[in-house]
Structure 1
Amino acid sequence: MGGMGPPPKPNARRRNAQVAMTRLPAGGRQGEPPKWPLIDDVVATAKRDMARRQADELELALLEPDLTGRQRAAVQRKLDGAQATVTVLDKQIEAQAALEAELWRDLWATPQAAAWERLGWTREVAQYVRWKVKAELGDLDASKEARQLADRLGLTPLAMLRLRWEVAADEVAEQRQERTTRAKKSVRQRLKVVDSDAVAGP
Structure 2
Amino acid sequence: MPKTRDWSAEERALWRNLWKSPQANEWDDSYIPAVAAYICHAVAVYDGSASAWQAQEMRHLGGQLGLTPAGMLALGWVVRHE
TM over 0.5: yes
Partner secondary structure for residue 140 of structure 1: coil
The aligned amino acid for 1:112 is Q
Who is 1:162 aligned against? Answer: 74
Asked whether 1:125 is paired with 2:35, we answer: yes
Partner of 1:149: 61
Aligned length in residues: 80
Deviations 1:125-166 (A, max 9, x none): 111011111111212322222111101111111110100111
Kindly indicate whether residue 75 of structure 2 is the aligned counterpart of residue 110 of structure 1.
no
Distance 1:169 1:135 in 2: 30
Matched, 1:39 2:23: no
1:75-115 Cα deviation digits (max 9, x unpaired): xxxxxxxxxxxxxxxxxxxxx61111010011111000010
Give ranges in structure 2 of 5+ residues lacking alignment: none
The TM-score, its normalising length taken from structure 2, stands at: 0.84
- Tell me how large the CA RMSD over aligned residues is: 1.8
User: Rg bigger for which structure?
Assistant: 1
Q: Is the 8 A contact 1:152 1:159 kept in 2?
A: yes
1:38 deviates by 4.7
Specify every segment of 5 or more residues in structure 1 that has no aligned partner in the other structure, as ranges. Answer: 1-35, 42-95, 171-202
Give the 4+ runs in structure 1 shifted more than 6 A.
none
Q: Could you tell me how far apart the structure 2 residues matched to 1:163 and 1:38 are?
A: 29
Q: 2:64–2:71: 8 Å Cα contact kept in structure 1? A: yes
Higher-RCO chain (CA-CA 8 Å, sequence separation at least 6) = 1
**Percent identical residues:** 39
The partner residue of 1:138 within 25, 40, 48 is 48
